[in-house]
Amino acid sequence: MSVYLDHAATTPMLPEAARVLAEQLVRTGNPSSLHASGRAARRVVEEAREGLAAALGARPSEVLWTSGGTEADNLAIKGMFWSRRNQDGRRRRLLVSAVEHHAVLDPAFWMAEHAGAELVLLPVDADGIVEVDALHDELERNGDQVALVSVMWANNEVGTLQPLDDVVTLARRYGIPVHADAVQAVGQVPVDFGASGLDAMTVSGHKVGGPGGAGALLARRGLDLTPVLHGGGQERGVRSGTLDAALLASFATAVEQAVAGREGFAAWVGALRDSLVAGVQDVVPDAVLRGPQDTARRLPANAHFTFPGCEGDSLLYLLDSAGIEASTGSACQAGVPRPSHVLLAMGVDELAARGALRFSLGHPSTAADVDALLAALPGVVDRARAAGLATVGSVT
């Protein structure tokens, strides 16, 4: 039986969320239909909206259902940019941190190539924390030209928690809306949309023990969003498409469960993560922990290392053959032979960045999982290094 240490990519469904999904899947009804079955489906959707909103400190009217985190990020970046640009024609600058998930970065680059956006990547320090001074300087120079700022709540690769309070405070001085991808943060750290001051926030189901194919963009009341999808005019006319009542009910249940149990989960999974970090550094002394050393500045379930002299893909496949499932970083970039843009933005050189592995824990994780990793890792690293030397030797 394999040991699963890739919960940041996706995590098993929580039992209650799975139960709700199974119950709702056998029911029929389009939430937009006016007959009894349609009204019943609409009731499920709206109760889910209310539950998710309450768990995340939002109003139900601020919850826009999407098919997942990627769609929500695209709606935020494109919808906010187009709306702001169209107000006066001058707001074309798009400020995005250099360590965003590709679900934010790729639409931002697309807007620069196809929609006249002027993309500015905000730098980060060696821990992956956005340099607030750089944001301040950019807003001082060009604040009246900025359409929006997007800075993630927590990084999906190295686990860094971003200083969103400072980001929001700066942006407010210039009347600039702020979006945050909070996909990794929900259920691990306190997330309160209303208290955050954010204008938009992305959440996803399968990262918190819910189903895949369900997500939401929380958008404050009064925020102008230009639709990306057009069709039936669902979700306040901002996001067309028939709503899946079963997925949304299960998604909301998972968020409610994850938020309710967050404090206890964070405490024990953080302790388990600390034992994993100490163990890796013991069995592979030259492994380098990436991201903040201060555990208060990183997600409790995240441990990210680079292993000198190794290729991350080699480590991944060798661990997999030993029954250990991990990741080189973002699952969306798996199989692409290039170093992480997150590590490069943090100042890690390309050679070192190629030897990255992310271990992420979840609610089924155990001390036995960590022990299995520590037992397999030294041999895996030795073999990966030998393979790397052999490759270099054949090239020379």
Q: DSSP secondary structure string, 81-125?
A: HHHHHHHHS---EEEEETT--HHHHHHHHHHHHHS--EEEEEPB-
Distance CA 157, CA 138 (A): 26
How far apart CA 122 and CA 278 sit, in angstroms, is: 32
Do residues 300 and 188 touch, judged by C-beta distance below 8 A?
Answer: yes
| Residue in 215, 250, 226, 256 with CA at minimum distance from that of residue 51 | 256
Q: What is the rounded distance in angstroms from the CA atom of residue 14 to the CA atom of residue 299?
A: 20
Decide: residue 264, CB within 10 A, 0-12 exposed, 13-18 middle, 19+ buried: exposed
Two structure tokens written together for 255: 């968020």
Residue type, 74: N
List residues with catalytic annotation: 332
Q: Which two tokens stand for residue 220?
A: 């404050």
Q: How many CA atoms lie within 13 A of 168 on its CB side?
A: 17
Cα gap 322→312, rounded to integer Å: 15
3: which strand partners? 324
CA 72 – CA 74 distance, rounded (Å): 5
